Amino acid sequence: MNDTPAIKLRKINKSFGPVHANRDIDLVVKKGSIHGIIGENGAGKSTLMSILYGFYQADTGDIIVNGNKVTIPDSKAAITLGIGMVHQHFMLVDNFSVLENVILGAEDSQRLAGGINRARGELRRLEEEYELRVDPDALIQDLPVGLQQRVEILKALYRSAEVLILDEPTGVLTPAEADHLFKILEVLRSEGKTILLITHKLREIMAITDTVSVMRRGEMVATRKTAETSMEELAELMVGRSVLLRVDKKPAEPAAPVMEVENLTVTDSRGVVVVKDVSFSVRAGEIVGIAGVSGNGQSELLETLAGIRRATSGTLRINGETIDLGTSSLDAADMRAKSMAHVPEDRHRMGLINSFSEYENSILGYHRDPAYSKGPLLDLAAIRKNAVAEIEKYDIRPPNPMLRTANFSGGNQQKIVLAREIERDPDVLLVGQPTRGVDIGAIEFIHKRLVEMRDAGKGVLLVSVELDEIRALSDRVLVMFDGKIVGERGSDADEGELGLLMAGVEDERNLLEGAAQ
Amino acid sequence: MTAGQLPRWVDYGLIPLLNLAAAFLVSGLVVVLIGENPLDAVRLLVWGSLGYGEGIGFTLFYATNFIFTGLAVAVAFHAGLFNIGGEGQAYLGGLGVALACLALDRYVPWYVTLPFAILGSAAMGAAWAFIPAWLQATRGSHVVITTIMFNFIASSLMVYLLNNALKKPGSMQPETRTFEVGGRLPFLNDIFPAAGFGYAPVNLSLFIALAACFLVWLVIWRTRLGFEIRSFGANATAAIYAGISPVRTIVITMLMSGGLAGMMAINEIMGSQHRLLIDFVTGYGFVGIAVALMGRAHPVGIILASVLFGMLYQGGAELSFEMPNITRDMIIVIQGLVILFAGALEHMFRPAIIRLFTPSQRLTAREA
């Protein structure tokens, strides 16, 4: 074995406008190892990897691959150097077959036939060597996400990647799929491939990596051997202070139901039934969590309850009033008027208007409130005063209501949404992915607020794909799979059991029988 | 790289000026190719449009038209809609003005007719925008397609009406009778003789246009409706999340847009022509798109851009008179270049300017 590092970065700097995304980054990645890079959102991990993969050019600094100083002007150059990347959002053509996707951009010639046949043989070899089994003729759109990700890995290997960068690979996977991915990574390592794993999940780092580097605010703050560190130490390094990994809360004292959903069915615009005959209730003073792999109907459920999406049938009882969701034409404003607030799953797409100032976003959805009007005009003074109060209470930084929302960090943007929705004192709060893309410091803050809502006697419905978050916050956990609620557990739910439910083990009885046998 | 990264004065001042400079530079090359001196041409153009009272009067008259059509496009922009039907909406607006004037001009003074003319023009323009708006809002038919089709329908409809219903009996001209004084807005030359506007048709509509600018600003940036329009335009999904009705927003915005376009006819019909005639819009509706782009969809920007295009129209006419080599067509080429650089190539200089401004900002960040 030679000891030349697969990748060596020396004093990498990269700025975007006033933001210094990477500052004097040094990194040494040993050949044949799994090297984790962990850091909060906005710490500069993705920028660093984009420099390595040729999406960005470093302002200063050297990249050394296999002992040779190189420049990487584009991703083609990175591929030539044997660097492959598996993106967080897959770069696949949905209606192409696996094979076609693999050769896309590496077709060899104008005529496809030769390339395809060569690729078929090569794919078979890769499958055997790395246990990466996928049907080469299946269409991408028919494959579950776990297999789609496998295709991404195959794409990189087909291009003879020696170094594989995986950017937040487990975000869309069930726990079981994640475990399988880790097995694949281990096989790849044993075959001498080098793997760079970008994640913000401490548990994954501990489970799979050999070495871990921690980034904070654009700087590389530490590199540790995984065996010689702990989750607590890493968390502290990431945030720069010690953090509570667990949510502190008293047992719930639920009262009467504030929201009851009965037989809710939702069909999406393609005619697919995405929510199937779902019934549940949320009581005052409890947090009900909906666990599930992304894409199993949770988003649609949340949007329907919030008045954004139409239901096919079903009823909603909120504060004693019964609404037939199948026939009513209530929109989001009407639902707000019924004291239901909504923190949407995707704050960029839905929760905020990024080109607006902070104070304008602080009234989005509540702009018809008479408190913000003076005659026919908006009362800007009152709106700004309210915004400043929220900024102070939620420690939103920078504390400037005039700043464009796009210029706030993810955590602060989420606080803007949360402040707006919680401060109107709703009876029911719908929350989707409250901490997606949010740094650890802000996660702690957001979780505390949600528990406060509960303790104030409000009903909270929480949808999250982060099982840890669901388990930490929820007093009851409902598991959704394929549009149905397939199980209900208490706050002490067992992770493995939830994982099985999320993966669609048909129903409870099967699960119990399976466990008994 | 969003606009948010640039200081406002760069976004709203420097970039439009650079685009303009580029347009004039290319135009200058064209003038050189023809064998004329570009500096002389510029001198003639500026003198012809701003050098004497009557020239200024004509410039402001054209600018009045552009303010209306520019505002029309800008209001739609704020809701993310591209109304390129200003041409047809203004044409129909002319019908509204003419009906009011024909009905009232013999009985009442102009200031009684005026509110009806404003109402009539806005109502007709808005009505002409309503069907495309409704189709967009409920069926998703793209307003770009439908409004442009409605321009053709408007054109045919007006020809039919002028020939068959509105024509003066016994006349060969497809136009209405000339309005009496009760259907004519006072010329500014009569109100302010000292300004020396001479025979320039600039009239009271200029002030109506400026008032419209203020009202548009007020509605878009200071009312709930404006908040909803801007929300919908910036992020339709977030607007729906906020309980803003897409159908209502699209329809109301397009009605406002069509109404503003229709009001252009007050200047042209009641202010200058004093009769309704064929094809009086002659492209003002389309130039309004360039005006709105160049003016960054903001009323102040639109006033500035309107004056610029007014200068091009008036100065261009003078130029082709003084330099026969530079024909009327050449003036249209120059106007086209300004539209090209200010509108279509609006983003050409932006990346370079962002690069230019980044290092200095990084230095300040480091110092801080």
For A422-456, write each residue's pLDDT tens digit.
999 999 999 999 988 787 778 889 999 999 999 99
Q: What is the pLDDT of residues A248-284, one digit of tens each?
A: 788 888 999 999 999 999 998 878 899 999 999 999 9
- Average pLDDT in chain B: 90
Query: According to the model, what pLDDT value does residue B1 have?
Result: 35
CB of B361 within 8 Å of any CB in chain A?
A: yes
Q: In what order do the strands lie in the sheet with A476-481?
A: A340-343, A428-432, A459-463, A286-291, A476-481, A484-490
Query: Is residue A44 over pLDDT 60?
Result: yes
Amino acid, single-letter form, for residue A158? Y
Query: Is residue A504 over pLDDT 50?
Result: yes
Boundaries of every domain in chain B? 1-36+325-368, 58-321
Query: Is residue A474 over pLDDT 80?
Result: yes
Give contacts of B218 with chain A, Cβ < 8 Å.
377
CB of B140 within 8 Å of any CB in chain A?
A: no
Full-model pTM = 0.80
- When pLDDT is averaged across residues B328-341 and rounded to a whole number, the result is 82
Q: For residue B201, count CB atoms less than 10 angstroms from its CB and return exposed for 0-12, middle for 13-18, buried for 19 or more.
A: buried
d(CA A458, CA A82): 54
Residue A377 is nearest to which of B223, B231, B366, comparing CB atoms?
Answer: B223
Give contacts of B244 with chain A, Cβ < 8 Å.
333
Query: Is residue B336 over pLDDT 70?
Result: yes
Query: Is residue B153 over pLDDT 90?
Result: yes
Query: Is residue A507 over pLDDT 60?
Result: no
d(CA A156, CA A164): 7
CB of B138 within 8 Å of any CB in chain A?
A: no
- When pLDDT is averaged across residues A126-151 and rounded to a whole number, the result is 85
CB of A302 within 8 Å of any CB in chain B?
A: no
For chain B, how are helix, strand and coil distributed in percent, rounded to 5?
A: 75, 0, 20
- Residues 395 to 454 of A: which have CB under 8 A from any B CB? 404, 406-407
Query: According to the model, what pLDDT value does residue A245 have?
Result: 61
Query: Is residue B365 over pLDDT 50?
Result: no
Query: Is residue A89 over pLDDT 80?
Result: no
Closest CA–CA distance from residue B4 to any residue of chain A (Å): 7
Q: B293 and B286 in contact (C-beta within 8 Å)?
A: no
Q: What is the DSSP string of B69-91?
A: HHHHHHHHHHTT-----HHHHHH
CB B2 to CB A376 under 8 A? no
Q: SS3 of A209, please?
A: coil
- When pLDDT is averaged across residues B225-240 and rounded to a whole number, the result is 96
Contacts of A443 (CB under 8 A, 6+ apart): A411, A435
- When pLDDT is averaged across residues A505-509 and rounded to a whole number, the result is 54
CB A378 to CB B223 under 8 A? yes
Closest CA–CA distance from residue A339 to any residue of chain B (Å): 14
Instruction: Kindly list the distances between the CA atom of residue B268 and the CA atoms of A222, A432, B86, B202, in Å, as whole numbers in the listed order.
Output: 73, 55, 14, 10
**Eight-state DSSP code of residue B118:** H
| A463: β partners | A290, A432
Length in residues, chain A: 517
Query: According to the model, what pLDDT value does residue B97 have?
Result: 97
Query: According to the model, what pLDDT value does residue A18 have?
Result: 67
* Cα A264 from chain centre: 26
CB B238 to CB A350 under 8 A? yes
**Tokens at residue A123, please?**
């794919």
CB of A151 within 8 Å of any CB in chain B?
A: no
User: Which range (A100-114, A188-202, B238-252) has the least confidence?
Assistant: A100-114
Amino acid, single-letter form, for residue B264? M
A vs B, Cβ pairs < 8 A, gives: 87
User: Which range (A289-298, A469-478, B276-285) has the least confidence?
Assistant: A289-298
Closest CA–CA distance from residue B214 to any residue of chain A (Å): 14
Closest CA–CA distance from residue B230 to any residue of chain A (Å): 9
Q: Which of B229, B235, B245, B367 to mutate to test the interface with A (most CBs of A within 10 A)?
A: B235
Query: Is residue A482 over pLDDT 80?
Result: yes
Q: What is the pLDDT of residues A53-68, one digit of tens each?
A: 998 889 999 999 999 9
User: Which range among A175-189, A494-508, B89-103, B171-185 has the greatest average pLDDT?
Assistant: B89-103
Banded pLDDT at A515 (limits 50, 70, 90) = very low
Query: According to the model, what pLDDT value does residue B359 have?
Result: 52
Q: A49 and A75 in contact (C-beta within 8 Å)?
A: no
CB A352 to CB B227 under 8 A? no
**Strand (E) or helix (H) holding A199:** strand A194-199
Query: According to the model, what pLDDT value does residue B367 have?
Result: 35
d(CA A61, CA A56): 13
- When pLDDT is averaged across residues A3-21 and rounded to a whole number, the result is 85
Query: According to the model, what pLDDT value does residue A356 have?
Result: 95
Closest CA–CA distance from residue A387 to any residue of chain B (Å): 16
Closest CA to A282 of A317, A247, A308, A315: A317
Query: According to the model, what pLDDT value does residue B363 have?
Result: 40
Kindly provide the residue ranges of all beta strands, DSSP E only, lying in A403-507, ordered along the sequence. 428-432, 459-463, 476-481, 484-490
CB B243 to CB A336 under 8 A? yes
Q: SS3 of A108, please?
A: coil
Angle ∠(B105,B107,B108) on CA atoms, nearest 5: 75
User: Which range (A194-198, A271-275, B299-303) has the least confidence?
Assistant: A271-275
Which CATH code fits B58-321?
A: 1.10.3470
Banded pLDDT at B7 (limits 50, 70, 90) = confident
Give contacts of B245 with chain A, Cβ < 8 Å.
331
Residue B224 is nearest to which of A351, A365, A367, comparing CB atoms?
Answer: A367
Of chain B, the end-to-end C-alpha distance in Å amounts to 23
Higher confidence at residue A230 or residue B273? B273
Query: According to the model, what pLDDT value does residue B4 have?
Result: 47
